[in-house]
Amino acid sequence: MTTSTAIEPGPETLDARPALLTVENLRVSFGDAEVVKGISFTARPGGCLAIVGETGSGKSVTARTLVGLTGRGSHVSADRIDLAGVDLRRASGREWRSIRGREVGFVLQDALVSLDQLRRVGDEVAEPLRLHGWGNRRSRAERVVELLDAVGVPEPEVKARQRPYELSGGLRQRALIASAIALDPKLVVADEPTTALDVTVQAQVLDLLAASKERGTSIILISHDLSVVARLADQVAVMRAGEIVEFGSAHQVLHDPKHAYTQALLDAIPSEHTRGTRLAPPADGVSDVPRVRKIDRDRPVLRARNLVKVFQGPDKIDRTVVNDVSFDLFAGETLGIVGESGSGKTTTARIALALTEATSGDVLLHEKPWSSISAAARRTVRKQIGVIYQDPLSSFDPRWPVGRILADSLRTGSRPPSSKTEAQERAVRLLEQVGLTREHLTTAPLRLSGGQRQRVAIARALAPEPGIIVCDEPVSALDVSVQAQVLDLLTDLQDELGVSYLFISHDLGVIHHMSDRILVMKDGRLVEQGDAEAVFAAPAHPYTQRLLTALPRLAQA
Amino acid sequence: MTTITLPTVVRSPDWVRHLRARPTTVLASLVVVVALVAAFAPGVLTPHSPTTIHLQQTLRSPSWHHLFGTDEAGRDLFTRVVYGTRESLGIGVGATAIAMAIAIVFGFTAGLVGGIVDSLITRLLEVLFSFPALLLALLVVAVRGPSLETELIAVGVGSAPGYARMVRGQVLNVREAPYVEAASALGHRRRTVIRRHLFPNAFRPLVAVMTLGVGQSIVWASSLSFLGFGVPPPSPEWGALLDAGRDFITTSWWLEILPGLVIVLLAIAVTSLGRTLQHKLEGAAR
Amino acid sequence: MTILVEVPEPAVDPAGSGVDQRPAARPGVRLARRIVWKVAGAVAVVIAAASVTFFAQLAVPGDRATILLNIQTGQHQHYTAAQLAPVRKEFGFDNPLVAQWLRYIGGVFHGDLGTSYTQHRPVTQVVGGQLGPSLIITVGALVVAWILAIGITLLTVKRRPVVSALGSLWETFTACLPQYWVGIILLVIFSVDLHWFPVIGGTSVKGTVLPIVTMAIPLAGFLGQVTRDEFEKVLDQPFVTTARTRGQSDTGVRLRHALRHAVLPAITLSGWALGALLSGAVIVENIFGRPGIGQVLVTAVSTRDVPTVSGVVLAVAIVYVIANLLVDLAYALVDPRLGGPA
């Protein structure tokens, strides 16, 4: 099982500098479950090693083991864990504490929860300084300002006195990095440091880590996202189920992968190159046939006219969340709406679904009034428009098994099943259509995997046989390989049934892969719209250009 | 031919494995079962009569013959506690039912109707909540005069505001749940959504709360009786036993401490069952 | 001790966008504005509470003047209009209901809670002198309970399984204990058997110990449960991991980071707890023969002197309201996040 895990670095990764960190045959288990199965790697000064893997690959556990925080009930063994000549396997609690923060800095994802909300940003950044006896109160305060300034926080004196929740996501993450590099550690371990961030902010944070690397810090970057890694890493280790399946230079791993799993991961990343192709390897017997598109540009199924939505905040101040947004969705088409958080894309989707009332403007469904009619009148035509959410689990009644969820949805369609048996048979057909089986009928959604849940959600949306499905970030919570399967399923269903998708996503790659036309939203406004190929090839609006520049690409490696 | 005797796997019976896995739950259930037996068939647990007076055996301390000792009239205290179970448990269940009925009406109205009705009810509850439960109960007693009925109403009314707030919060929670919106997005009527999703999901956690509530109601009711505002003394209701024993605190500790212990045991048992149930329901609803 | 109180979640970033869109009102101004609103709300609650007690007095079945005379004479009979008239006049029963109500509400803010049926003295006088001793044991119990709860939680939460289980068991057990039972056990052991404390304590310092401990034990269990749940949650938070990755020790993590978060729900509950303690004081004063509102209340309830009962209940409600104002302030100090308990 573990025979081929210790992969020697290829010749191109050889470096004259001695390794800062050497890990050999690291094993971590919790109880009987071994989650890291004998992995080996090295990290060099001024280099970046990326450890990439999906949920459950053991990458985060590995990261935490490097600072001796594997967690309760864990058992760690290794032939070697050397950091700058110190054998960490024998480190005592006290020794670990002197290493953490001083020798090794650690950056977690999402600073909103990774910084103490009740303390000032300055105190958080100063904590490693204080713990390791650096300077006095005053010199520490000065150092904090320097550090915040160095990571690009504007007005560092002011921000140091604020609390994390008063800062924007990007600034918070910078502050978190500032606290990790406060004592200029030789090694920085970053565990998904950009995952919760918008793409433009993500690019800035990666640049910050790159600058640290330039100064000679060794960086270990943990990520699920190969394209993020491409921007920073010199070496890449691909982990699956506790083993490193491939290890090599970033260029080699990302462009000439030796292992089938790495290849599959790379293929699964949606981008401009993957349009019209399948992302996941096709199931047996299914050949990769080219897509058949039947878009009817004369038949708009959903038209939005000058939508405006104003919300009043708790402070009685009006915020225009959606500002003069118009679009048409044609039969058989996928219209992508892309934007960063707070751009108003989800509110637009909710107005299109008539779940939120627009402040002004209206929506037509099949050229007939939709948003302006009474709720009762709307109910009779609801079946024509379905929805898929980002978090399918919370959209299912926790008491209901899959079969009941589907039967309930079938009843709302234009051909309600006439008997229990018919409902069940049709539910099974739906399950098969989305790649599940009859056995799932009696399963509670809680017991399904993330991908399976989203499949059930798709089946539920399909049950009333709608012509339009609004997909609100349908794959954002999924691993890339599962995401690939779900996106493939959505395209297959479109080819088969001719449904139109209003597809909301923050991920430009996903949008590019899926959409025929796209709308780019920023601060509630539509800044650009047009044919997907055209917009991506030659973005007209500066914001779109910025988005595309910030977009991490594999080609960067 | 050789016969191979397969070793029979000795499996412990179900209840043993349960006991090992969650000893507290099993013990708590046991206490509740004994209480139920005492309530419906007190004769099973004790051979004595709760009312027979033995003037030669007054105020005996606990012994093998009189587990809980005897009272000032020579009556067997254990027997009286057993026979008092029905009334005490009845008050606990009844008062909780009253409290819950009030709470559900107010909580659901506030949570479902919303708007001005909601703010009015919320305000009212906030006001009632500013009266500690026992004081609200005492106010009811002062207005109505002490009796069994008053005790039920007093404890029920006293604990209703807390429950009502919780029910309202629960309704709001479920109303905002994505699955409720998903049901509307499928084109279900509001009425259907309320009946099929909102009611059942908002009620679920209340089952656990009611269990917890019974334990508390028993304690509160006994506190009222302890102060002399419960069921009048000849009754073996637990609070009344406590009230009657107070005159002998300095000489006969068992008259107070042992009935109190029974109340505590039952309250803890019911509470721990309620908590287990709560965690289970929370787990199921993730 | 009840476990049925809603703990409001602090509202974090209502816009959910992660972008700070709040107007730049200075924290001081924001806090002042909030306090003004809170005080206004508190006054409204007091008025409403007074109305409830006022109507409780009307809810007594029968004619009030007749009841009053019967209570005073200990008889059970009917009176002539001529006999009732002076009583009605004295107590203002012949005024229109609205006028009586307004007078009662107005009186509340002037420290006038009506006249006791039995003692013929203003209720304020009857209650006033007794509130002090009750408040002493109440506040004392709250402080002791907090110390016990925090101490036990800090020592036992997320330690070795046996230690944690013991801490948790202790809390579950004590949180269920009725105050009268704890009181009697302490009385029997420490006063009757060991003679360490007087059986009838009065207001002496020695006599104050047992009442405070009696009320503190169940409350400590309850506060401990709440704090422990929160503490366990907080110790799993990413920011705690971050602190550890900076070299923070386990003790440092607990004291400097987790504790502050973990006490928030218990702070929210303290206002309520103070009210609950005051009603507990009724029982405890009864057991330990201690003067206070408990004695007044029990006498008044048994004589059905509803104005006095109302007075006590209202006084407690006012204490509760003030306590909650203080709690809000304490909460704002510990948790500077906007929102807090609404």
Q: Number of A:C CB contacts under 8 A?
A: 101
Domain that holds residue A480: 298-392+468-552
Integer Cα distance of C266 and C7 in angstroms: 9
Range in A450-454, A487-491, C94-98 the model is least confident about: C94-98
Total domains in the fold of chain A: 2
Q: Is residue A289 situated within a structural domain?
A: no
For residues A112 and B194, which has the higher predicted lDDT (pLDDT)? Answer: B194
B128, B223, B257: residue with CB nearest C184: B257
Going by pLDDT thresholds of 50, 70 and 90, the confidence category of residue A1 is: very low
**Does A470 score more than 70 pLDDT?**
yes
**Does A347 score more than 70 pLDDT?**
yes
Going by pLDDT thresholds of 50, 70 and 90, the confidence category of residue A280 is: confident
Mean per-residue pLDDT of chain A: 88
> Which pLDDT score is estimated for A401?
93
Do the Cβ atoms of A132 and C17 come within 8 Å? no
> Which pLDDT score is estimated for C9?
39
* Structural contact between residues C201 and C210, judged by C-beta atoms closer than 8 angstroms: yes
**Which residues pair with residue A518 across a beta bridge?**
A336, A530
Stretch 443-472 of chain A: residues touching chain C, C-beta under 8 Å: none
Same domain, A365 and A227: no
Same domain, A359 and A227: no
Q: Is A355 on the interface with B (CB under 8 A)?
A: yes
Single pTM value for the model? 0.81
How many CB atoms lie under 10 A from the CB of residue B149? 12
Same domain, A540 and A499: yes
Do the Cβ atoms of A389 and B182 come within 8 Å? yes
B177, B179, B186: residue with CB nearest A409: B186
* Structural contact between residues C155 and C167, judged by C-beta atoms closer than 8 angstroms: yes
DSSP classification of residue A41: E
Helix (H) or strand (E) holding B28: helix B23-40
Q: Is residue A516 situated within a structural domain?
A: yes
Domains of chain C, earliest start first: 31-72+89-114+305-337 (no CATH), 126-302 (1.10.3720.10)
A67, A128, A168: residue with CB nearest C18: A168
Do the Cβ atoms of B187 and A395 come within 8 Å? no
Same domain, A371 and A480: yes
pLDDT digits (tens, 9 = 90+) for C270-328: 888 888 888 888 889 888 888 888 888 888 888 888 888 888 888 888 888 888 888 88
Same domain, A7 and A59: yes
Same domain, A30 and A69: yes
Same domain, A522 and A472: yes
Q: Is residue A250 situated within a structural domain?
A: yes
Q: Collect all residues of chain A within an 8 Å Cβ-Cβ radius of residue B190.
A: 375
Integer Cα distance of A523 and A510 in angstroms: 21
Nearest to A340 by CA among A192, A168, A502, A210: A168
> Which pLDDT score is estimated for A16?
56
> Which pLDDT score is estimated for A432?
93
Q: Collect all residues of chain B within an 8 Å Cβ-Cβ radius of residue C268.
A: none
pLDDT digits (tens, 9 = 90+) for B106-146: 999 998 888 889 888 888 888 887 788 888 888 888 888 88
- Residue A424 corresponds to which amino acid? Q
The distance of A398 to chain B (nearest Cα, Å) reads 5
Phi, psi at B11, each rounded to 5°: -100, 130
Q: Is residue A234 situated within a structural domain?
A: yes
**Does B255 score more than 90 pLDDT?**
no
Stretch 82-101 of chain A: residues touching chain C, C-beta under 8 Å: 97-101
Q: Is residue A399 situated within a structural domain?
A: no
Same domain, A355 and A493: yes
Nearest 5 degrees, angle CA A166-CA A168-CA A171?
Answer: 105
Query: ipTM of the predicted structure?
Result: 0.82
> Which pLDDT score is estimated for C24?
45
Q: Is residue A281 situated within a structural domain?
A: no
Going by pLDDT thresholds of 50, 70 and 90, the confidence category of residue A282 is: low
* CATH number for the domain harbouring residue A262: 3.40.50.300
Give the mutation candidate from C9, C245, C251, C259 for the A interface (greatest A CB count, under 10 A): C245
> Which pLDDT score is estimated for B14?
61
**Does B8 score more than 50 pLDDT?**
no
Maximum distance among all Cα pairs of chain A, rounded to whole angstroms: 78
Same domain, A6 and A97: yes
Going by pLDDT thresholds of 50, 70 and 90, the confidence category of residue A72 is: confident
Same domain, A229 and A325: no
Do the Cβ atoms of A127 and C243 come within 8 Å? yes
**Helical H runs in chain C?**
27-59, 64-73, 81-91, 97-109, 123-156, 161-176, 179-186, 205-235, 238-245, 250-252, 259-262, 264-288, 293-303, 306-334
CB-count burial class (<10 Å; 0-12, 13-18, 19+) for C264: buried
Same domain, A485 and A364: yes
Integer Cα distance of C118 and C133 in angstroms: 22
A389, A391, A464: residue with CB nearest B186: A464
Instruction: Please list the helix, strand and coil fractions of chain A in percent, rounded to the nearest 5, in that order.
Output: 40, 25, 35
Do the Cβ atoms of B138 and C286 come within 8 Å? no
Going by pLDDT thresholds of 50, 70 and 90, the confidence category of residue A552 is: confident
Q: Is residue A146 situated within a structural domain?
A: no
Same domain, A327 and A385: yes
The distance of C261 to chain A (nearest Cα, Å) reads 8
- Give the residues of chain C that fall short of pLDDT 70: 1-28, 30, 201, 338-342
Stretch 334-353 of chain A: residues touching chain B, C-beta under 8 Å: 353
A115, A168, A176: residue with CB nearest C20: A168
The distance of B76 to chain C (nearest Cα, Å) reads 21
Give the mean model confidence (pLDDT) for residues A228-256: 92
Question: Tokens at residue A210, please?
Answer: 């790159």
Cα C65–chain centre separation: 33
pLDDT digits (tens, 9 = 90+) for A17-68: 688 999 999 999 998 899 999 999 999 999 999 999 988 899 999 999 999 9
Q: Is residue A313 situated within a structural domain?
A: yes
CB-count burial class (<10 Å; 0-12, 13-18, 19+) for C339: middle
